[in-house]
Amino acid sequence: MRSARTKAKILTAAVVPLLAASAAVAVSAPQASAAPNGARSCTHPGWSDKSGAKGTAKGAEALVRTGPTDDCGIVATVGTRVTLYYHCWVKNSSGNKWTHVRIGGTQIDGWVYNARLDDGGLSSAGTKC
């Protein structure tokens, strides 16, 4: 039977190379590249909860994104039965208005294009992000 000290040495011998390998992977991971000239990029404007309003998706569904452009990643897809709690809105570089929302019953939040909201989303001066 092996002693506790021998077992600790064996464990250390097995774990240390794994830690070193994982550090190498993290260091050698590819870096994000800039968007090509003329291409839009995903922005992440600041937001705060300035509204008590809520709504739902217009039509079959709406995409909740990480930022207020179609170039931003999708956080979730919501249907018309899901309540969206509105926080504030922005106008993106294309002139389109987007509302920052939280999906009802979750802690998931993101941006929805106002045209995809049943009531057109937020757009009043007092609720601008």
pLDDT tens figures, 78-113:
999 999 999 999 999 999 999 999 999 999 999 999
- Per the structure block, which two tokens stand in for 16? 């240390």
Is position 3 within any domain?
no
- The boundaries of the domain holding residue 113 are 54-127
pLDDT digits (tens, 9 = 90+) for 30-69: 233 344 444 468 989 999 999 999 999 998 899 999 999 9
Whether the Cβ atoms of residue 28 and residue 83 lie closer than 8 Å to each other: no
Is position 115 within any domain?
yes
Is position 46 within any domain?
no
- Per the structure block, which two tokens stand in for 68? 């207020």
pTM of the model: 0.69
Distance CA(81)–CA(116), nearest Å, equals 14
Is position 97 within any domain?
yes
Is position 48 within any domain?
no
Distance CA(117)–CA(62), nearest Å, equals 7
Is position 2 within any domain?
no
Is position 1 within any domain?
no
Q: For residue 125, with 0-12 CB atoms within 10 Å meaning exposed, 13-18 middle and 19 or more buried, which class applies?
A: exposed
Specify the number of domains making up the chain.
Answer: 1
